[in-house]
Amino acid sequence: MKCRHCKKLVSNLFLDLGFAPLSNSYLTKENLKLPEMYLPLRIKVCDKCWLVQTEDYIDKKNIFKNDYAYFSSTSKTWLAHAKYFVKKITKELQLSSQSHVVEIASNDGYLLKNFIDMKIPCLGIEPTKGTAHEAENLKIPVIKKFFSEKLAKQLADNNKKADLIIGNNVFAHVPNINDFTRGLKVLLKPKGTITLEFPHLMKLIDNLQFDTIYHEHFSYLSLLTVNRIFKSFGLKIYNVEEIVTHGGSIRIYGCHENETRRINVSVNKILNREYNKGLNKLDTYKNFQNKIDLVKNKLLSFLINQKNKGKKVVAYGAAAKGNTLLNYAGIKSDLLPYVYDLAKSKHGKFMPGSHIPILPSKEIINAKPDFVLILPRNISKEVKLQNSTILKKRTKFVVAIPHLKIL
């Protein structure tokens, strides 16, 4: 395969997770009677631009469909994160009723609703109709399409350029990362700002976060790679912040390359850390497989041991990252009988691959579990807090990554 950015032939394997279904393809009871599609989940690294990327096996339109089941507003932690960011960026950029904000992958309006409350004009771009409909119910205007350079030109021609473009956890979901970046430049006003948040590849490697790897994530990003991509298309990164979301992410701030904004020391600081970690050296990527196999084996041993002791283990959070973990480990309902989740869109459905039933979170009390395995480990504190009051003190909470830990 050729690198999605620099087009060099890519042959260096980073990780092989075998065959897996799409992580957000939750199944109905009727679906269980039908064949299930499995695809190779192999990740490679380009030794020229250092973009870590999935092999291509499926079109994005078959991943982000109308019944896409991820709704951002189900997480209180994520809502608070979005609200804080909006307040912060509005003050920094002095946004007003004369400004225009565009969010790419606006989901169910979890973030843009804060701009609506502040009377700041905004627009969401969201291809999945189910989530877009929820945003429209909040009076947020939404274009139900995938973002691209073509769409950016259409918006620019209709006087819809942006003072601020926001993209939270979307850059990694883009198969054509070059077209997407060209679109950012086209849509951005001359003095406009781009902010993108994405899980940090350095944290993924350091903390063995292989559960963030699935077909929906086409790329796994370092600052050194994103910096190169931005420069290739006439943009520059002038500031970077490290944030705790998804187990360790970065938020980059970008603008046109001819802008006079000075580059903050944070950019070189993180770039230097990445170089010191060896993110520009192939050897860094070669031993990851062995490390994550140990994580998998320890989780399996824990579940088998608890079953042999007559203990009951259930899971919380029917998240995509949980599906990666369960399917790679080969865990089925004999070891983990139920997954509980807050999202109504998932209730009564089954996890892809493992076929574990998904039940409403309030029903977890009926299970009387000895252990609750938290699959979305990035919100483990929130999950424990939500459920500790309804579960007996004997119930313990567990996470599997970066290592098996009883909280």
CA torsion through residues 301, 41, 203, 354, sign? negative
pLDDT single digits (tens) 29-79: 999 999 999 999 999 999 999 999 999 766 656 666 555 556 777 678 889
Distances (CA, A) of 162 to 159, 241, 291, 348: 9, 22, 43, 41
Quick check: is 399 in a domain? yes
172 and 254 part of one domain: yes
Quick check: is 201 in a domain? yes
Average pLDDT over residues 242-253: 91
pTM score:
0.91
How would you label 183-202 residue by residue, b for 16+ Cβ within 10 Å and e otherwise?
bbbbbbbeebbbbbbbbbbb
Domain encompassing residue 388 = 288-406
Cα 144 from Cα 180, distance rounded (Å): 16
Average pLDDT over residues 79-94: 95
Cα 58 from Cα 217, distance rounded (Å): 12
> What is the pLDDT, as a whole number, of residue 246?
78
Average pLDDT over residues 81-99: 96
**CATH number of the domain encompassing residue 189:** 3.40.50.150
Instruction: Give me 123's structure tokens.
Output: 């627009």
Quick check: is 102 in a domain? no
> What is the pLDDT, as a whole number, of residue 65?
56
Read off φ and ψ for residue 383, nearest 5 degrees.
-65, -45
249 and 313 part of one domain: no
Query: Between these two residues, 70 and 157, which has the higher pLDDT value?
Result: 157
Quick check: is 270 in a domain? yes
Cα 274 from Cα 371, distance rounded (Å): 37
Is the pLDDT reported for residue 347 higher than 90?
yes
Average pLDDT over residues 256-261: 96
Quick check: is 170 in a domain? yes
Confidence band of 392 (pLDDT split at 50, 70, 90):
confident
> What is the pLDDT, as a whole number, of residue 268?
98
317 and 347 part of one domain: yes
Cα 213 from Cα 207, distance rounded (Å): 13
Quick check: is 64 in a domain? no
383 and 362 part of one domain: yes
Domain end: 225, 253, 285, which one? 285
Quick check: is 216 in a domain? yes
Total domain count for the chain?
Answer: 2
157 and 274 part of one domain: yes
Confidence band of 289 (pLDDT split at 50, 70, 90):
very high
pLDDT single digits (tens) 3-32: 999 999 999 999 999 999 998 899 999 999
> What is the pLDDT, as a whole number, of residue 199?
94
Domain end: 265, 285, 305, which one? 285
211 and 167 part of one domain: yes
**CATH number of the domain encompassing residue 348:** 3.40.50.720
323 and 231 part of one domain: no
> What is the pLDDT, as a whole number, of residue 225?
98
352 and 384 part of one domain: yes
Quick check: is 129 in a domain? no
Of the candidates 47, 48, 55, 46, the one whose C-alpha atom is nearest the C-alpha of residue 16 is 55
182 and 275 part of one domain: yes
Amino acid identity of residue 193, one-letter, is T
Whole-angstrom Cα Rg for the chain: 21
Domain end: 285, 308, 339, which one? 285
> What is the pLDDT, as a whole number, of residue 62?
62
